[in-house]
Amino acid sequence: MSSAFLYSAVRTPFGKFNGALADVRPDDLAAAAIGGVLAQTPSLDPAAIDEVVWGNANGAGEENRNVGRMAALLAGLPTSVPGTTVNRLCGSSLDAAIVGARAIETGDAQIVLVGGVESMTRAPWVLPKPSRAFPAGDVAAVSTTLGWRLVNPRMPKEWTVSLGECNEQLQERFGISRERQDEFAVRSHRLAHRAWEDGFYDALVTPVAGLARDEGIRPGTGLDKLAALKPSFRPEGTITAGNASPLSDGASAVLLGGESAAAAIGRDPLARIIGKGAMALDPREFGYAPVEAANRALARAGIGWDRIGAVELNEAFAVQSLACVDAWLKDGLRDPGIVNQRGGAIAIGHPLGASGGRILGTLAAVLKERRERYGVAAICIGVGQGLAVVLENLEVAK
């Protein structure tokens, strides 16, 4: 099989719920991310792109009807470039990258543009359609912003509790204190702010609607402020709005290609995809699913945790992030400090369908900056799943 390589990664800034990107449609956000990749690869003839594979978790509003195809058209790609949309909830754009990489590895494609988008602000309310016309009773509108909706009554009720309740159960299982969670959140904001101040994200982010930086980063966040927040899911719980990722809007795009695609793209690849892994657990344990997903990806790459120099773990909740890192330390991860060295989703934001592409592009950039050879991008996914990808930094591999 051929290898799949990462050539370019660009995302929009991530906006706050009802924030600076509230007026931007998700298909336009996706088109902006695609435009950012095309701007980085001016030698690439867009007609040479074999496929667009796009991730989206919602699909109920303006991103309906195959947002991958819509974004490609809005970005000005030729109508001859096909596009598809995949949905693995929070892991959608990382799944898109895996789908695109497989197409390259099997020889079905040479250049694939992947990514994902979510506008949690613009996610609509929906009305269930009755099985018979003109029902006599009231009908309630259901928010599609986050979590379960229109649940099948045959689904076990213990599986359909809120994402926050799932993670409070995880906290009980592993005994991860509120203090550790708050410390992790403060670190996320501090490192994300420093990354912007260092110019780390300048080449990874394309401005949209006047927003040039991630909107949710709070450099002044301290333990005293977080300690004053009330629990969000249980009266005596540990999870708050401060130690969980916020509702967000944004898009990410990643250009993948085979080794021979370098001439057409006009630049050398940054990294090679050498391992991919998926894992599924009881739906309540979704936050812990990245543990085995990453272990499987490493096994397929033929390396262990002792050789990993950078990890990008999507911070859905501080508690599940800490549970994953604790498990990886037992598996051989050499230093928890290599996780999210440039901040994470608690600070940057988590627009569901876009986060996988964000962590993959960030991982490639961190590997380059730190001159580390191998890194892992991993993400937890609602309803009990996790995904992971292992990258090899080609500059160090030479």
Single pTM value for the model: 0.97
Q: What is the 3-class SS of the chain, one letter each residue? A: CCCEEEEEEEECCCEECCCCCCCCCHHHHHHHHHHHHHHHCCCCCHHHCCEEEEECCCCCCCCCCCHHHHHHHHCCCCCCCCEEEECCHHHHHHHHHHHHHHHHHCCCCCEEEEEEEEECCCCCEECCCCCCCCCCCCCCCEECCCCCCCCCCCCCHHHCCCHHHHHHHHHHHHCCCHHHHHHHHHHHHHHHHHHHHHCCCCCCECCECCECCCCCCCCCCCHHHHHCCCCCCCCCCCCCCCCECCCEEEEEEEEEECHHHHHHHCCCCCEEEEEEEEEECCHHHHHHCHHHHHHHHHHHHCCCHHHEEEEEECCCEHHHHHHHHHHHHHHCCCCHHHECCCCCHHHHCCCHHHHHHHHHHHHHHHHHHHCCCEEEEEEEECCCEEEEEEEEEHHHHC
Amino acid (one-letter) located at 276:
K
pLDDT given at position 44: 98
Q: Which residues are part of the catalytic machinery? A: 90, 350, 380
pLDDT given at position 134: 87
For CA atoms 202, 203, 204, 207, give the dihedral sign.
positive
pLDDT given at position 57: 98
Give me the count of residues in the chain. 398
Neighbours of 199 (CB within 10 A): 8
What is the residue-level pLDDT of the chain in tens, covering all 398 positions? 899 999 999 999 999 999 999 999 999 999 999 999 999 999 999 999 999 999 999 999 999 999 999 999 999 999 999 999 999 999 999 999 999 999 999 999 999 999 999 999 999 999 988 888 888 889 899 999 999 999 999 999 999 999 999 999 999 999 999 999 999 999 999 999 999 999 999 999 999 999 999 999 999 999 999 999 999 999 999 999 999 999 999 999 999 999 999 999 999 999 999 999 999 999 999 999 999 999 999 999 999 999 999 999 999 999 999 999 999 999 999 999 999 999 999 999 999 999 999 999 999 999 999 999 999 999 999 999 999 999 999 999 77
The rounded distance, in Å, linking the Cα atoms of 269 and 251 is 22
**368 closest CA partner among 342, 339, 394:** 394
pLDDT, tens digit, 9 for 90 and up, residues 380-392: 999 999 999 999 9
The rounded distance, in Å, linking the Cα atoms of 247 and 287 is 17
pLDDT, tens digit, 9 for 90 and up, residues 110-121: 999 999 999 999
pLDDT given at position 135: 86
